[in-house]
């Protein structure tokens, strides 16, 4: 049994201090993933990778009812948390009171591989919510790749699927999201 799994069991048994032991075990990996995602953000971005990791951590540990079923579940929750933080930030920046407005979003396939402006981020998020309703695993793969910056091998391990399956899911999901965003922008 890994140290991570052992600590998760302690948390489930009510040891609240055990949760404090998780962050040092995963911090460098979370920081690396956040840095990867933030490297593609625009130059006027004020959110740093460290801040993204810390905000995600606060959200993950702030929910006392949240129980992680293992490393894969933890990283999936972290990916979702980072995604929500980035989406909330984009929505705030695009709010009408901040000069935001609706406009047609041109979406290129590369949008899933590099940082994009807030309008594209919102379009991807909305399409991703629709994909999640159809196939949660494919949506989780996109979250891990796009919002956390994991590679196909890393994401396949977190999701517990083979690399070839992850590659097929990734190809399908990119095409599906592209089509969905194209349809919604018309």
User: Over the stretch 132-172, which tens digit does the pLDDT of each residue have?
Assistant: 999 999 999 998 887 777 889 999 999 999 999 999 999 99
Which carries the bigger pLDDT value, residue 48 or residue 46? 48
Q: What is the DSSP string of 6-66?
A: HHHHHHHTT-GGGGGGHHHHHHHHHHHHHHHHHTTS-TT----HHHHHHHHHHHHHH-TT-
| Tens of pLDDT, residues 22-38 | 777 778 778 876 776 66
| Tens of pLDDT, residues 118-133 | 777 788 888 999 999 9
Average pLDDT over residues 71-79: 79
3-state SS class at 91:
helix
3-state SS class at 152:
helix
Q: What is the pTM of this model?
A: 0.54
User: Is the per-residue pLDDT at 48 higher than 80?
Assistant: no
**Residue extents of the structural domains in the chain:** 3-184
């Amino acid at each position: 049994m890994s140290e991570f799994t052992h600590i998760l069991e302690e948390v489930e048994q009510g040891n609240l201090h055990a949760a404090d032991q998780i962050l040092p075990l995963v911090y460098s990996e979370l920081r690396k993933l956040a840095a990867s995602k933030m490297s593609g953000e625009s130059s006027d971005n004020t959110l740093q990778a460290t801040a993204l990791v810390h905000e995600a951590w606060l959200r993950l540990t702030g929910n006392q009812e949240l129980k992680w079923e293992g490393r894969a579940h933890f990283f999936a929750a972290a990916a979702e948390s980072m995604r929500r933080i980035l989406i909330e930030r984009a929505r705030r920046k695009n709010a009408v009171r901040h000069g935001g407005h609706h406009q047609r979003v041109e979406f290129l396939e590369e949008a899933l591989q590099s940082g994009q402006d807030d309008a594209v981020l919102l379009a991807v998020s909305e399409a991703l919510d629709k994909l999640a309703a159809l196939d949660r695993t494919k949506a989780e793969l996109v979250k891990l790749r796009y919002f956390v910056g994991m590679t196909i091998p890393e994401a396949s391990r977190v999701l517990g699927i083979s690399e070839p399956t992850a590659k097929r899911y990734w190809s399908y999901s990119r095409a599906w999201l592209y089509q969905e965003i194209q349809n919604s922008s018309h």
